[in-house]
Structure 1
């Protein structure tokens, strides 16, 4: 793709800019042993509840139609599949309310309809500045025009009109005119937009803004943070419910009079399901009524969870106190405590070629690890850039936040690696890498007691990072042990150059092979094939694929043997049962027909689904597979949890142990993978993929695993839900961005290594 070529061109230019990095960095060993760790509890209140009020920006609010709270992140999620920042609108405050300041003559917002409608009513609250007229357009059809007076804040209402709209996505556009030429002041500011149906309610419309619907309500002396809704109102939140989830809240009426409420589940193509309908009474004797609703029937599905006010006396509101999704059993499993964490990252592994997903075929160490641990069937890389994926494992941040998003970038100096967190606690850390994408030039040498890189240009075995990690651990597990240890080994895995002699390679199938691949120059050859202009020329023939797979397997056998020595050391030192051992890959090589090992491949599942096997401390969880959706930041979160260290506040990883024992996130979790301005989001059985600012494609993978049909327009509930969780995830990552992009400065040795690796050609 064009992005890859540009990135590598920049990378190549960097060859002349950098100085030489040192091959290794060391620090003195710990001088005294630390006291033994105390046993940790088996459960903890991690994600004990999903507080709906805290996630309202990801929800949709209706009151007499849809209400768009302009000037908030909730409204920004409707900006044509953009993430922001936005140049045509700025979020501002006016008189204690959020407004959107209109900086362009045209500003548009998307909205979805669950069903077809015939009539339409549009209202909005506007503070006019320089615009003299407002024109409202829906799907390029004019709704009406209103005159504006500078400095005046008022509700602009348009007469109801016959404007048939089908279920699905639509767009409302605000067009401003009348600003004098040469003037740069804003056109206007907008508080809210109502898109509704004509009704018989005579009361002045009161928009349910985020600030309006959340307040502290005290009934019978008991205060609760509440959703307070005037009837008719609905709060709909997109969720993918856990098997052990239930909805918990207290129901009451705020003010005098009475009302009625219900709770519903909505999904595409199905009638809404009412879980509860109840009347409430306010006044002096009003009390809270506790409610608990089992949601397990809807586990695993992407649905809309609705809290609704059906009726309410004038001036009063239905109150949902402390609404939350909670676990039925009330506790979250956490990873047992570890004193040693070993992270082995084998580059470019194809799951189908290693156990337990594929045959053992002599890979005895990986087979042993699979029997002693848990295989994660849905481990998805956050990027197809290998360094980006590993940066997420070692920082707990997604690519948009840590900043290493392309092959020519490096981790910023502000990035805090796991090594620094462990060292601050008095622990010891080391990293050994034989993969150029994690060399010092890319920022991975920061904060380790020992950091060593081994170039594939040199005559060094591919298994050497594991060998050196074993040697380091043997020293660290001596008489003077630190309380905590972390060692990372990044090995070539299945990636060329393959660690085989000519004689070893010639003995591999197919017999009498005369194709283009050899063990030493395999990556360079494949890079040249990938660079060919014509798709038809970017192909390997059947004989080449057979030799490639044979070369990969033979190279893996040698690295597997080194793993066995590492296992033996941990067992000999009595540390095996106290070790969190992680075997993962950075990105998948791809399944063809184009050559594998693209350093910035498209965001396809063949590049994103990678192997992850975790042996947890202790004997409780072993020989198991799980299909829970997990990603690279979870490796960092689990490492810190096992070492009983606090994760940085800006990280959001998940403890892999809870996934291993079957505890899913209460309201679901979007797994977002990114590359430049492209994204691919998994949320349950749905995948949303596209380019920022353009209409994406939505697939329902449980019925269409090949992702042939685009159902974005026909599944409005799912479409809006998955885009909203994508927007929330991407916005949060950008909010936590630690630094602007830093280009890698490549020294000649690293440049030579990248050439042999096939990333520069």
Structure 2
């Protein structure tokens, strides 16, 4: 059984530094890059430093973690005015070794330039992300995460090193999941093993016993299990290692790799290299590279998603040793013969050095393929070294936009696909359709969790949920994460947060950095749209603010309880309603229905559905009126044109027959898909749509960039001229909640839960995911799992701040009325 694991660390093949902008108390420490072999923990930038900036300096901002982006903010009009008044020009401060706050960014028309992206990423972050081939398929148990009786953990299954070889020390029976790139009609096994208490071990694949072998004493040695009539299909499998137990002694064995071959190798067997031996850092001349090192006849077959037909694979090759050798780069596609992309040979006596290898345009698009790197020759005492191969797509050119003087984000709860601009007017929210004429629409926007609290945390910090970990009622925002409000405060800006949604009250840490935080509880006799009134009052006090302004307004939207009187509710459809749903108690009533023990009892009569929809639309009409008034006031005050306006949903309400507004909603599209509109300064690009999967981290990056701040490393700037559509098609969209995950890349969707078997489906023609395709499309399943594991592993070891103190009674009561408290 394929079991999800979030604890295996990802490693990057590049060392890069980024400028960072944050308050001094959150200054990032300098981290050193590993000097020899990659460790199990993710690689971090070698240094994180930021020089002091003055008003004449360019503002340097990265577009995303995989494509460095520079944003240059110019304040020409402001400086011209200062010079005209005879002001002394600012002098550039000397560079500092400590990060310093971003300087004041004056409001007014100025230009933001977003540098183009080279669109390069690693073909494989680790050798274990590829199939290792050497006279069979090599399963490196030291590089895979075991599953034991203790669950997914290194406890009782740690990695040890013997004579430069990494081995997994097992103290109990363990299972390992692996992938075969090709089917095998018969299979035998050779394994690298050492006695640590057990004199015999047995191997099984998918529950079928392969055989047992005696474990030698002394240093690790290769032993063989003879070929058995066992057929293994292409795709995912589970290898089980069972240990014998000596009387009076605990079991134990140290095991490295297991090689599966279709025939007995006998004396012709040559030992392969494990993943830790393949990964190395080598220097030829003055050029040092992280590299994959292969013996003669060894190969790596790496699955990769190719989105751009002009994409190419590039690497550098060198011979490590005095012999001759050669390397081939091969493209493998399902249903087609292998195609040689490039070949390079080395002769004895050639000058040592790195030699570039380029595949040329692959000519495939929107497809999972395998790239094979094979050492065709490597003389005795020599090995072939390949610098970490890169996938290079067509570069994205520089973009230009107007800097925003202020940014206002309006988030509504309980929206769904019915509230996209094309249908919003018929479902209580015409302002969504009206704004679409001046804004850019992102129809494929998806949240990265089904927790509204988690979405707001990502919006404010730019971190995905597996980093900030603010999802449940017990969680609190990590103090080590800087918020955009804190960055703006350090830049002489002002920020405010107004919420009527109990799950985003300041008790959870979301108010950090805001000069004003206002909460409107559903237990209070206050209008549901009062956050907009409070926002307008705050804005009137800050209308002359010189630095950037930022505000987030979180409204209940279509989510109950509803600010509707009982008398008004009686006039709503259906006529002569005899059900029990009440406006003020609707969230509690829906929670009680969801909590029923038997699934068949979790249903509502048709009249209840009709009344719920009518109340939701009535609540939205009130919000629609208040939003129209707010937008009109911004226009009257001259604050509309040069502002960035975001109108979006938090999490989806869900679709029938599921009871909506669940706080434990699955990661299905109807809960992740919500509307997103962004009006850029001067309504630039208004009335257009941008394709691509985006998340709240991208919204954060966009707001930060246009306010002159550092965008999130996890986000893309969604400005249409920055071509986020090209950048997004090469990355996976990952969503998480309570041990579950859902990953989308191209037409594929991988879903799973820790401890259970994931499911792969084609979302383009099977949106219900009723036809599993793990065995039909093993390349897609392999790569999506690698992508998910690498993303989620970044959160391993991070603190998950939780409060041992109970929430205030006021907050507990608000959560209960919201349907998010204990039932």
Q: Is 1:556 aligned to 2:620, yes or no?
A: yes
Task: Tell me if structure 2 keeps the 8 A contact 1:101–1:189.
Answer: yes
Which runs of structure 2 are paired with 1:169-248 in the superposition (5 Å)?
Answer: 169-181=236-248, 183=250, 187-198=252-263, 202=268, 204-216=270-282, 218=284, 224-243=289-308, 246-248=311-313
Q: CA deviation at 1:688?
A: 1.9
Q: Matches of 1:638 and 1:82 in 2, distance apart?
A: 43
Q: Which residue does the alignment assign to 2:662?
A: 598
Q: Is 1:739 aligned to 2:800, yes or no?
A: yes
Q: Is 1:635 aligned to 2:706, yes or no?
A: no
Task: Tell me if structure 2 keeps the 8 A contact 1:381–1:673.
Answer: yes
Q: CA deviation at 1:431?
A: 0.5
Q: Is 1:100 aligned to 2:162, yes or no?
A: no
Q: Which residue does the alignment assign to 1:14?
A: none
Q: Is 1:144 aligned to 2:211, yes or no?
A: yes
Q: Which residue does the alignment assign to 1:406?
A: 472
Which deviates the most, 88-97 or 388-397?
A: 88-97
Q: Is 1:626 aligned to 2:697, yes or no?
A: no
Q: Structure 1, residues 592-611: CA drift from partner, whole Å, max 9, x if none?
A: 21321111122322222222
Q: Matches of 1:621 and 1:83 in 2, distance apart?
A: 51
Q: CA deviation at 1:261?
A: 0.5
Q: Matches of 1:347 and 1:341 in 2, distance apart?
A: 20
Three-state SS of the structure 2 residue aligned to 1:628 is: coil
Three-state SS of the structure 2 residue aligned to 1:163 is: coil
Q: Is 1:451 aligned to 2:517, yes or no?
A: yes
Q: Matches of 1:200 and 1:80 in 2, distance apart?
A: 32
Q: CA deviation at 1:324?
A: 1.5
Q: Which residue does the alignment assign to 1:124?
A: 191
Q: Matches of 1:132 and 1:363 in 2, distance apart?
A: 71
* Alignment CA distance shift 1:636-1:368 (3 Å): same
Q: Structure 1, residues 526-582: CA drift from partner, whole Å, max 9, x if none?
A: 223323334333222223222222222222122223223333344445443443322
Query: Which residue, 446, 455, 460 being the options, matches 1:389?
Result: 455
* Alignment CA distance shift 1:330-1:525 (3 Å): closer
Three-state SS of the structure 2 residue aligned to 1:117 is: coil
* Alignment CA distance shift 1:440-1:699 (3 Å): same
Q: Matches of 2:499 and 2:110 in 1, distance apart?
A: 33
Which deviates the most, 484-493 or 127-136?
A: 127-136
Q: Is 1:711 aligned to 2:773, yes or no?
A: yes
Q: CA deviation at 1:725?
A: 1.7
Q: CA deviation at 1:443?
A: 2.5
Q: CA deviation at 1:620?
A: 4.1
Q: Is 1:302 aligned to 2:365, yes or no?
A: no
Task: Tell me if structure 1 keeps the 8 A contact 2:450–2:671.
Answer: yes
Query: Post-superposition, which runs of at least 4 consecutive aligned residues in structure 1 deviate over 6 A?
Result: 80-83
Q: Structure 1, residues 484-516: CA drift from partner, whole Å, max 9, x if none?
A: 222111100101122233454333333333332
Q: Matches of 2:539 and 2:132 in 1, distance apart?
A: 56
Query: Which residue, 506, 509, 513 being the options, matches 2:573?
Result: 509
* Alignment CA distance shift 1:420-1:709 (3 Å): same
Q: Which residue does the alignment assign to 2:24?
A: none
Three-state SS of the structure 2 residue aligned to 1:143 is: strand
Task: Tell me if structure 1 keeps the 8 A contact 2:147–2:153.
Answer: no
Q: CA deviation at 1:470?
A: 2.7
Q: Matches of 2:631 and 2:184 in 1, distance apart?
A: 65
Which runs of structure 2 are paired with 1:348-747 in the superposition (5 Å)?
Answer: 348-359=414-425, 363-478=429-544, 480-482=545-547, 484-647=548-711, 652-657=714-719, 661-665=723-727, 668-735=730-797, 737-742=798-803, 745-747=806-808
Q: Which residue does the alignment assign to 1:17?
A: none
Q: Matches of 1:238 and 1:83 in 2, distance apart?
A: 28
Structure with the larger RCO, 1 or 2 (CA within 8 Å, 6+ apart): 1
Q: CA deviation at 1:57?
A: 5.1
* Alignment CA distance shift 1:577-1:231 (3 Å): farther
CA RMSD after TM alignment: 3.3
Three-state SS of the structure 2 residue aligned to 1:232 is: coil
Q: Which residue does the alignment assign to 1:748?
A: 809
Task: Tell me if structure 1 keeps the 8 A contact 2:180–2:234.
Answer: yes
Query: Which residue, 148, 158, 163 being the options, matches 1:90?
Result: 158
Task: Tell me if structure 1 keeps the 8 A contact 2:444–2:694.
Answer: yes
Q: Gaps spanning 5+ residues in structure 2: where?
A: 1-102
Please state which structure has a larger fraction of its residues in strand: 1
TM-score, normalised to structure 2, is 0.79
Q: CA deviation at 1:313?
A: 4.4
Task: Tell me if structure 1 keeps the 8 A contact 2:112–2:401.
Answer: no
Three-state SS of the structure 1 residue aligned to 2:421 is: coil
* Alignment CA distance shift 1:47-1:507 (3 Å): farther
Q: Which residue does the alignment assign to 1:112?
A: 179
Q: CA deviation at 1:50?
A: 0.7
Q: Matches of 1:695 and 1:599 in 2, distance apart?
A: 24
Task: Tell me if structure 1 keeps the 8 A contact 2:653–2:661.
Answer: yes
Three-state SS of the structure 2 residue aligned to 1:460 is: coil
Q: Matches of 2:716 and 2:161 in 1, distance apart?
A: 35
Query: Which residue, 141, 150, 163 being the options, matches 2:230?
Result: 163
TM-score, normalised to structure 1, is 0.85
Q: CA deviation at 1:740?
A: 4.7
Q: How many residues align?
A: 716
Q: Which residue does the alignment assign to 2:819?
A: 758
Three-state SS of the structure 2 residue aligned to 1:444 is: coil
Task: Tell me if structure 2 keeps the 8 A contact 1:335–1:656.
Answer: no
Which deviates the most, 249-258 or 284-293?
A: 284-293
Q: Which residue does the alignment assign to 1:64?
A: 135
Q: Matches of 2:276 and 2:509 in 1, distance apart?
A: 41
Q: Gaps spanning 5+ residues in structure 1: where?
A: 1-31
Q: Structure 1, residues 225-255: CA drift from partner, whole Å, max 9, x if none?
A: 4434334333333333333752242454515
Q: Which residue does the alignment assign to 1:44?
A: 115
